[in-house]
Amino acid sequence: MNPSDHIDDPRRQWLVQALAAGLFGPAMGLAQAQSLFGNRPSKLPPGQSIYSLSGNVRVNDQPATLNTPIKSGDTLQTAKDSQVIFVVNTHSMILRGDSKLVIEAPANAPADTSITGLLIGGLRMVTGKLLSVSRNSPMRVTTATSTIGIRGTGFYVESDPEQTYFCTCYGATEVQANDDPDSREQVVASHHDRPLYIVKDGGKGKNIRNAPFLNHTDQELALIETLVGRKTPFVFSTDAYSGPRRGY
Please give the pLDDT value at position 236.
Answer: 57
Q: What is the domain partition of the chain in residue ranges?
A: 3-226
At residue 18, the 3 state secondary structure works out as helix
Q: Tell me the C-alpha distance between 169 and 236, whole Å.
A: 13
Task: Give residue 227's identity as a one-letter amino acid code.
Answer: L
Closest CA to 137 of 153, 155, 148: 153
Q: What is the 3-state secondary structure (H, E, C) of the chain?
A: CCHHHCCCCHHHHHHHHHHHHCCCCCCCCHHHHHHHHCCCCCCCCCCCCEEEEECCEEECCEECCCCCCCCCCCEEEECCCCEEEEEECCEEEEECCCEEEEEECCCCCCCCCHHHHHCCCEEEEEEEEEEEECCCCCEEEECCCEEEEECCCEEEEEECCCEEEEEEEEEEEEEEECCEEEEEEEEEECCCCCCEEEECCCCCCCCEEECCCCCCCHHHHHHHHHCCCCCCCCCCCCCCCCCCCCCC
Beta bridge partners of 209: 197
Please give the pLDDT value at position 69.
Answer: 96
Please give the pLDDT value at position 55.
Answer: 97
Looking at CATH, the fold of the domain delimited by 3-226 is given as Jelly Rolls (2.60.120)
pTM above 0.75, yes or no: yes
Which H helix or E strand runs over 36?
helix 30-37
Please give the pLDDT value at position 30.
Answer: 38
Whether 248 and 111 have beta carbons less than 8 Å apart is answered as no
Task: Please list the ranges in the chain whose pLDDT falls under 70.
Answer: 1-40, 109-117, 236-248
